[in-house]
Structure 1
Amino acid sequence: MLTTQHILVFGAGKSATVLIDYLKQKTTAHQWKLTVADSDLQTVEDKLGTADGCKAVQLNILDAGKRASLIQDADVVISLMPPSLHLPIAEDCLAYGKHLLTASYADPAIKALASEVRNKDILFLCEMGLDPGIDHMSAMQLIHRIQAEGGDITSLYSHCGGLVAPESDNNPWHYKISWNPRNVVLAGKAGAIYRENGTEKKLSYADLFRQHTSVSIPSLGTLSYYANRDSLAYIDLYALPEVKNFLRTTLRHPDFCKGWAAIVALQLTDESLWYDTDGLPIQDFLKQHLAQNKLQECFDAYMNDPLLNEQFSFLGFFSEKPINKGKCSAADILQWRMEESWLLHPTDKDMIVMLHEITYLLDGKSRTVKSSLVVKGENHLRTAMAKTVGLPLAIAAVLIADGSLKERGLHIPVTPAIYEPVLTVLKQEGILFQEQQILNS
């Protein structure tokens, strides 16, 4: 019989609500301990409540001594910190022999620890959220099933997006913020690379949103997508070296992509130039920015489009409201406008949409399987984003703690030993895919 397990969570922000609720339920049932640490103690206390065995801790994550002390006392650690802050947590977990889970991409600094993690006989499980996370697990389950049936996969498109539910969609961007707004501002800055018809394709940041194409989602209709980062890095991880088409994308409403292409072209996501915003009206900042970057003519052309004009007006760019935020970049000001304009109100619902399109040859015939997921949030706190990012992490933590998940080393969830038990529990929690089989002509 296992001794009492202790799960430690760093971070209690937007993505933590459902995760904390699930862990409270499971740790109470198992008589384990749960500690949640965040810089905002009130937020942690509000989310933890008075559940037995649960402890709220106020923590500056850069306080090395206190952070290490918390990790030393834990068995399984979940980091919901920004990606740049995972490394010190990972190094402490390595030093004290503790399992670590994150929803973030496995970056080079974390990958460099792989051999030490294996030698410590612990598990570092990265990319264990929604995208990346559920996308990997559900795609790999399909891939392995097709291959077990003798199918030869020729094409994989994996689409995922955090959107606003149709019943709460009431602005010209068709978007509201349900996750880290900074990530929305910076999305796509690295451009994208993928495989199309056997050829490597690259898109620059400037072209990324102009190149968006459409896909039909069962029960929802048409959405647009844009290529997501480096798809090629996942071809080997998915063990599909000969696949002709391989693309991972982000889903958005078509109007969003049109508007965001203008935002990028007008350099409003730029972080290099700074503006003194104290007493500066938003519309005057925009004039300064356009003049500084010689973009006034480009802007005037965009504003002849009624949709773009409405979108920029909705963000408040024509307002006389002063910014009053000291020295800021254009990206900072854009984020502020987004946070105010794209607010998810208390009764609003967000929505997660995922679609895998896998084409394969079987018995001499071309077939396509489309597997789709649609999850709606309950309100502005118990969001679909919080559910789909938080639950995979929480489920994996419980499986590690109860001894069911025995993998060790540095992993992302592409092996059956990881994805099968997690997807089983996700299905029990209402996160399940609908499949459509198509025999191609």
Structure 2
Amino acid sequence: MKNVLICGAGMSATDLISYMLKHAEEYNWQVTVGDIAVETAKRKIGGHPRGKAVYFDCYDDALMERYIKDADIVISLLPPGMHAAAAKIALQYKAHVVTASYASEEMIAMHEEAKEKGLTFLNEMGADPGIDHMNGMRSIDAIKKKGGELLAFTSYCGSLMAPESNDNPWGYKFTWSPMNVITAGSAGACYYKNGNFRCIPYHTLFADPKVISVPGFREFEAYENRDSASFRKKYKLHDIPTFIRATLRYPGFCEAWNMLIQLGLTANNYNIEGSENMTYRQWVASYLPEAEDDISLENILADRLQIERGGPLHKKLLWTEMLSDRPIKRVHGTPAEILLDLLLEKLKFNEGDTDMLVFYERIEYKLKGELFEHVSHMVTKGVDHWHTAISRTVGLPAAISAKMILNGEITSRGVLFPWVAEVYDPVLDELAELGIAYSSYDTKIKYSQYH
């Protein structure tokens, strides 16, 4: 019998848990699901005889060791900063590891030891990162195989509400780690365009989104995502002139979110002393000029941001109740934490809501002296409130790859990533069987979009 330990039973874990339990009898697995919220883990196991829920706190090393030491594979959906801590224990007890997050330097540093011990530590096996990597590399390798010269690679992904559930002014609800949404982009973004290295600092990242039209669906706006430049090397596109990875949102989101950034409300690097004794109105007022001539705080907010008083953007900000007399409950919180507590209710993913993941990839390449574009796109919706699109697209790639490692179908060892055919071909093929598949086409074009 093989022991599978799933660390984390949150919003992205439902389909991962379901998949591993579905195949547990067939492959003789015992599946343990650990979470600080044991009842959530129990609910997602649903009484399955091969499943067990346990209390698991990733900030308690002794508790992590208790469960990791008996595991053959650890599938980590922990907070991104805690994957390496779990992996270190897995390394000690010779367990494989799968994560759905970006690999940290600490994780990458385990490569040689994991390889020597015959272990696979497979990272970035979610949606973004994950599915986007795999489809991108499948497209790149196919173009290279037929002799194409790649000139531009752009990849976009967004976790959004389906149109039928897009019923608030922001066009957004939390379907995955809310704090990650609040702090998204805080490190700025870097990418290559027309052979030039470009950087966008956080305070301007959301100020000028690009318009992206997904074939057969609709237009979205996009902001550049993290350090795209580093992925040129990872994708073996060392000299490609244009390489951009970006995040999709409904039109209007970026402009409004930029206002929160300009106010300073998304900062997570300092604390508000006595925040628990303040109202949201008092807190936001602390960032604004002092009132003069009986001007209302609402109008001071608009003037400070140089937006129209009572205009659509002003109304969108006030809809959050940031100027309400609601008391702040967070003790000594950072601005990001205080904002999070407010938006958790306003941007709540409600029963009956449907989410979706939107992927869009566009590649320009030359073949036999002619210019082509390759476009891949996918819109996949959630099944219900638990089996969401984010749960399916994050959990299923991790689950499929874990199965492959346990069954000896992935034989490479060390710290690995999904941009190799050994991983991306079988995982994408099985995802397609589960209804998660891209549509793609290649078209001859006259001009590049980037010149």
What is the TM-score with the length of structure 2 in the denominator?
A: 0.94
- 377, 384, 396: which is aligned to 2:382? 377
* Cα distance change, pair 247–307 in 1 and its aligned pair in 2 (3 A): same
Residue 138 of structure 1 aligns with an amino acid whose one-letter code is N
Judge conservation of contact 1:346–1:381 (CA < 8 Å) in 2.
no
- Map of 2:53 onto structure 1: 56
Between the aligned partners of 1:417 and 1:411, the Cα distance in structure 2 is: 11
SS in structure 2 at match of 1:278? helix
Candidates 415, 420, 436, aligned match of 2:441: 436
2:331 is equivalent to residue 331 of structure 1: no
Task: Work out whether residues 28 and 51 of structure 1, in 8 Å CA contact, stay in contact via their aligned partners in 2.
Answer: no
- Write the deviation string for residues 42-66 of structure 1: whole angstroms up to 9, x where unpaired: 1111111221221111122233333
Change (3 A) 1:92 1:273: closer
Q: Give aligned pairs, total.
A: 436
Compare 145-154 and 30-39 and name the one that shifted more. Answer: 30-39
Are positions 1:307 and 2:312 aligned together?
yes
Judging changes above 3 Å, is the alpha-carbon distance between structure 1 residues 341 and 303 closer, same or farther for their aligned structure 2 residues? farther
Deviation at residue 380 of structure 1 after TM alignment: 2.7
Q: Which residue of 2 aligns with 1:366?
A: 371
Q: Deviations over 1:359-383 (max 9, x none)?
A: 1001111000110011111233211
SS of corresponding position for 1:21: helix
Deviation at 1:301, TM superposition (A): 2.2
1:61-76 aligned within 5 A: 61-76=58-73
Residue aligning to 2:293: none
CA distance in 2, matches of 1:79, 1:109: 15
Contact 2:303 2:309 in 1 (8 A): no
Aligned to 1:287: 285
* 2:325 maps to amino acid: E
Aligned in 2, Cα 1:418/1:364: closer, same or farther, shift over 3 Å? same
SS at match of 1:328: coil
Amino acid of the structure 2 residue aligned with 1:23: M
Partner Cα distance (2:51, 2:149) in 1: 49
Q: Secondary structure at the match of 1:284?
A: helix
Distance 2:191 2:51 in 1: 45
TM-align CA RMSD: 1.5
Cα distance in 2 for residues equivalent to 1:204 and 1:278: 31
Post-superposition Cα deviations, 1:116-158, rounded to whole Å, max 9, x if no partner, equal: 1111111001111110000100000000001111111100000
1:104 equivalenced with 2:101 (yes/no): yes
2:113 matched residue in structure 1: 116
Offset of 1:288 from its aligned partner? 1.6
Percent identity of the aligned residues?
Answer: 35
Is 1:316 aligned with 2:321? yes
Q: Which runs of 5+ in 1 are unaligned?
A: none
Letter of the 2:126 partner, please give it. G
Whether the 8 Å contact between 1:371 and 1:436 is mirrored in structure 2 is yes
**Residues in 1 aligned to 2:410 and 2:18: alpha-carbon distance in whole angstroms:** 21
- Structure 2 residue runs without a partner (length 5+): 291-299, 447-451
Report the alpha carbon displacement of residue 270 of structure 1 after superposing the two structures with TM: 1.7
In the TM superposition, residue 26 of structure 1 has moved relative to its aligned partner by: 0.8
Counterpart of 2:152 in structure 1: which amino acid? Answer: S
SS of the equivalent of 2:441 reads: strand
For 1:229, which of 226, 230, 244 is the aligned residue? 226
In structure 2, the residue corresponding to 1:8 is in which secondary structure?
strand
Contact preservation (8 Å) 1:68, 1:92 = yes
User: Paired residue for 2:297?
Assistant: none
Contact 2:271/2:332 (CA < 8 Å) preserved in 1? no
Bigger drift between 23-32 and 12-21 goes to 23-32
CA distance in 2, matches of 1:62, 1:344: 27
CA deviation after TM superposition for structure 1 residue 297, in Å: 7.3
Q: 1:266 to 1:298 in 2, by over 3 A?
A: farther
Match of 1:158 in 2: 155
Contact in 2 for aligned 1:172/1:307 (Cα 8 Å): no
- 1:278 alignment partner in structure 2: 276
Structure 1 letter corresponding to 2:394? V
- Residue of structure 2 in register with 1:148 after alignment: 145
When residues 198 and 279 of structure 1 are mapped into structure 2, their CA distance, relative to the original with a 3 A threshold, is: same
Q: Deviations over 1:305-352 (max 9, x none)?
A: 622112112211132222233322221121112111011111001110
70 and 220 in structure 1: CA distance in 2 versus 1, 3 angstrom threshold: same
* Structure 2 SS opposite 1:327: coil
* 1:401 and 2:423 correspond: no
Query: Secondary structure of the residue that 2:384 maps to in structure 1?
Result: coil
What TM-score do the two structures reach when normalised by structure 1?
0.96
Conservation of the 8 A alpha-carbon contact between 1:99 and 1:122: yes
| Conserved? CA contact 2:96–2:120, under 8 Å | yes
Q: Secondary structure at the match of 1:218?
A: coil
Query: CA–CA distance in 2 between the matches of 1:111 and 1:160?
Result: 25
Contact 2:374 2:441 in 1 (8 A): yes
Separation in 1, partners of 2:327, 2:66? 45
Letter in 2 for 1:254: P
Give 3-state SS (helix, strand or coil) of 1:289's partner. Answer: coil
